[in-house]
A and B are shown apart, each in its own frame.
Chain A
């Protein structure tokens, strides 16, 4: 609110600057004219002669010349049209100031400015987030230590992830490279290096980053991070099928309690390796306007309804698969597994349906 008040004041000041001269009567003769300049010059010659800078003969010659110009100028200024005033023009100018100025200013400002954003001076922010201060100090200390002992591989190993988290990706890249040089090469460090490279490229898996992930996979074919990002590289290249295949392979090989499972499963859903749980059209539209929490509740309610329906009618294989997928996407792995067991039980007496179910589960990355 204060901001708009300040803007309004500034606009008024600007308009005033245009209106003020319009409101005053134009003086008949404001400003100097040529004649005045020549008169001043004649006076100066007298002064110069008096102080002995020019001789009398020179002064005379100069005087003659100036007088000649003075006469010409006087002649000219007599012929100039007198300064007039036109009320219509002034009114037009006033309208331009009153309407044009705010319109120009606001159209430019609203297109370019961010009026809702307040100031964020550092002093104020570091008071709020005091916990940040010691961290940056620590980082500075470690950096200073490493400056003197640049071959301390352990130091680089500790520093690198912190830098990465602080968003200082370029430094993190350097730190990871040093860690690899001095603390030995391994798949994890290569993958981390690739991730930092990605960070400095704004989240794009660049050729450099990809090369690091490939090196990591060469060192350890099961390195989860490297595999995941190689999939992401494929996705960013538009090879969604390759991405899905890579991620499905990962899920197939991984232990069931791997912490990154939900992430990969979600990614898989994104590239269409698995289609996301279908929602009724109305529900999607409704979900759009909801807050994060409300949307979560709504989805949970729908999933619960699906589960209840399947308990009474267990023949719907598609329904079971949708339920498992939904639990996986929501990160509730235990429920997914128990739903899986229920499904097997429900369709177990029908070989056809059981096969359909198992194939569906495979594509979700859950072993049948």
Chain B
């Protein structure tokens, strides 16, 4: 009964979504308040039913009801409870159900907290949201139904892909989906604005927090996924420019641009048409990501699905929504009213530069990801576009961006003073030069670019701190007064400081890990000693151990440095009998921000085992950076104040202003 009720709840959600797609639009057209309000109650009811459906699937997985095909194919009665739950979205059908659940959640949030939205805007937004939802409900019910049954249930399930049996699965996909799907709100707002033919202040006030929220989740989701790949896949790498990773990076880049342009819109009422376009593009890239991962176009750990009907269905959804929204944009955007004016050198100008660089970076990732696919479809030729392409295209775009980051917050709205900003950044520049000199001297004869990159990172971090120091007038007024001003600063300002500094922190991690990474790869027998980066690792022995649904071979290493015992590390290799698959569980030893990393390979006949040991200096900073960024985002999100950009009063010789768009 649970399975069938869950199935029926999903069907009801589809029916409600269909009603929500049409009735509010009709209501908005004829200006009928009751019909427009239908959007609200149906969105909430839809959320209720999808949540019930999702809860039903979770229950089925927890109780190991193998009469449900999805449970049989992806679960096992001996799996620990946590993985029984996370296994719900560790497969194609379940993850799509999570996708629509989150979509319904966002729709429900707009419905519940959208009291201060104009009625017709809310009706349009929820209707657009329901279009997306209906398409995906149909997709789930027709091509990837998680509630299909088996009349004669087997005794035991086939177990979850062992690589996915990890705590990472509990966090990474929900975070990522919250990010992906969160952008659907800004998309719905954009399409609603185009349908209504106007963008008002309430629109701007709403879009930024939603974008920010989606962006925070996406940032954390990507960082989490990267860390998961780093410790679980056993390659010691944290980013591979794999198409699936790129699929999540593209919405992030576009979303970051959107975040900044939405800021201009909210504060200065400018860049409206551009923001609408970015909203559409960002969600389109999220859909594209869903397509790439879910259609089975790419064969990787992520591509659970290899069913062509699914691919065609998602492609259809993609065409309808991206094509439709862009056509609507081309048709209606000229009708939107233009926004405020600003000089090229101003906070707005800096944000436009940010947008240009981010969207170009996004475009290069787009080309690098899709060109090989397109080429394969057209000519059958297989090429792989890997790290070299992205290093040569992505890096040159990010260097000017990072150089510009500290300037942005120091420029005033409407018309800024570049020279003044540069003077205030003097300290940051000096620190950066010193950092370059020190690193260069320390690693003399090594990589030449690395010290420069470290200097850039120092500039970004110090730039963020300079901005803060400037605002609280540090060292210019008594310290106690400065501290009081610091407390009085808007949390959004603190958010900017943290997020921008996070960028620099991540850069330091990336540069150090890629440049000064040292490794030992070889085969070791018990009592052998490997030396890596000043550490000595002795293999004490290999012991088999029985886990709940796997058996593992655990190797024990004693780590010493200068004769002193530091710690014991126990990497292992797990064998999952049900799927006949094995995973490597790398052992990580954290020392400050650096890590020692051991991953096991195959055992040879003479009892030796292949071992890969890495020392990764400051590697953790790669993930601290995004965490800082997300923290900055949360600070900014918690700032409930309204935001108005206060321009500096025009001087006698006012500069020529130019139109925003």
Contacts and interface: CB of A to CB of B under 8 A. Distances in A.
Interface in A85-143: 85-86, 89-90, 93, 96-97, 100-101, 104-105, 108-109, 112-115, 117-123, 125, 129, 132, 136, 143
A45 interface: yes
Given A22-B34, A54-B646, A109-B11, A96 B23 contact: yes
Contacts of B469: none
Contact of A14 (B2, B16, B114, B485): B16
Interface in A163-179: 166-168, 170-171, 174
A96 B20 CA distance: 11
B200 A30 contact: no
Interface string A29-72: 01111101110110011001001111001111110011001000
Range for the number of chain A residues in contact with chain B: 35 or more
Interface in B19-45: 19, 23, 26-27, 30-38, 40-42, 44-45
A83 B120 CA distance: 10
B45 A14 contact: yes
A27 interface: yes
B64 A10 contact: no
Given A27-B33, A100-B15, A14 B49 contact: yes
Contacts of B650: 61
A27 B646 CA distance: 36
B464 to A, nearest CB: 19
A3 B646 contact: no
B201 A45 contact: no
Given A83-B119, A144-B546, A18 B19 contact: yes
A358 B23 CA distance: 80
B541 interface: no
Interface in A275-318: none
Nearest to B551: A147
A270 B64 CA distance: 39
A166 B156 contact: yes
Nearest to B40: A21
A37 B202 contact: yes
A12 to B, nearest CB: 11
Nearest to B340: A65
B151 to A, nearest CB: 7
A112 B140 CA distance: 11
A245 interface: no
B19 A31 contact: no
Contact of A44 (B15, B34, B577, B641): B641
Interface residues of B, number: 85
A75 to B, nearest CB: 12
A260 interface: no
Contacts of A59: 646
Contacts of B205: 37
Contacts of B63: 119, 121-123
Interface stretch (B141-149, B185-193, B620-628): B141-149
Given A54-B646, A96-B23, A90 B35 contact: yes
A247 B121 CA distance: 75
A73 interface: yes
Contacts of B386: none
Given A10-B9, A45-B646, A121-B64, A34 B31 contact: no
B485 A113 contact: no
Contacts of B151: 114, 117
A119 B65 contact: yes
B4 A117 contact: yes
A158 B490 CA distance: 73
Contacts of B11: 104-105, 108-109, 112-113
Given A84-B30, A121-B64, A113 B7 contact: yes
A62 B646 contact: yes
A37 B642 contact: yes
State the 5 A-B residue pairs at the shortest beta-carbon distance, nearest first. A26-B33, A17-B45, A32-B116, A121-B63, A122-B64
5 contacts: A57-B648, A66-B644, A89-B26, A123-B64, A143-B577
Interface of A: 2-3, 6-7, 10-11, 13-14, 17-18, 20-22, 24-27, 30-34, 36-38, 40-41, 44-45, 48, 51-54, 57-62, 65-66, 69, 73, 81-86, 89-90, 93, 96-97, 100-101, 104-105, 108-109, 112-115, 117-123, 125, 129, 132, 136, 143-144, 147-148, 166-168, 170-171, 174
Given A119-B1, A119-B2, A171-B578, 15 more contacts: A3-B4, A7-B8, A10-B5, A14-B15, A34-B118, A34-B201, A53-B489, A83-B119, A89-B27, A89-B35, A93-B35, A114-B149, A117-B3, A119-B60, A166-B156
